[in-house]
Amino acid sequence: MKKFIPIFVVTLAIVLFFNGKKYDDLVSSRLNSSIAVCLEGQSCGQATAMKVAAVGGARSAESIYTTGCAACHDGGVAGAPMMGNKSQWEARQAKGYEMLVNNAYNGINGMPAKGLCADCTKEEIGIAVQYMLDTI
């Protein structure tokens, strides 16, 4: 039994060392990849189109949520109530729509002001809040 301990430790160290290297390479490759952003109505060629609202155009509730809110509200990051989870939204909903919009716009607890939508107006934050409330 004692003969297998060093072999096990060496094997485990090798696996962990090379697994970490693969992880570092994976992260580096993601950071170095190029992306193409296409404006709505323009041809993107072979690239996958990412719809961006035209300058001065209104954004939809879904696009605001997807680009600014989903990062935390899809997975419950830092205590964010998850999209569609009624039990997590009940206490917040009891505070009222205006309070939810103010909290989202100004930030509360682990949520920064405007979430991850730095260029959103208060009205757009309100649209995104209502979009999330409509799913419960």
Q: Say if CB 71 and CB 83 are below 8 A apart.
A: no
Predicted confidence at residue 86, as pLDDT, reads: 93
Domain boundaries, the chain: 1-32, 61-133
* H or E segment to which residue 11 belongs: helix 4-32
DSSP bridge partners of 111: 108
Predicted confidence at residue 48, as pLDDT, reads: 44
pTM above 0.85, yes or no: no
Predicted confidence at residue 103, as pLDDT, reads: 94
Per run of 10 residues, the mean pLDDT along the chain (length 136 residues) is: 77 64 65 64 56 58 90 90 93 93 92 90 94 92
61-133 CATH pick, 3.90.1150.10, 1.10.357.10, 3.40.47.10, 1.10.760.10: 1.10.760.10
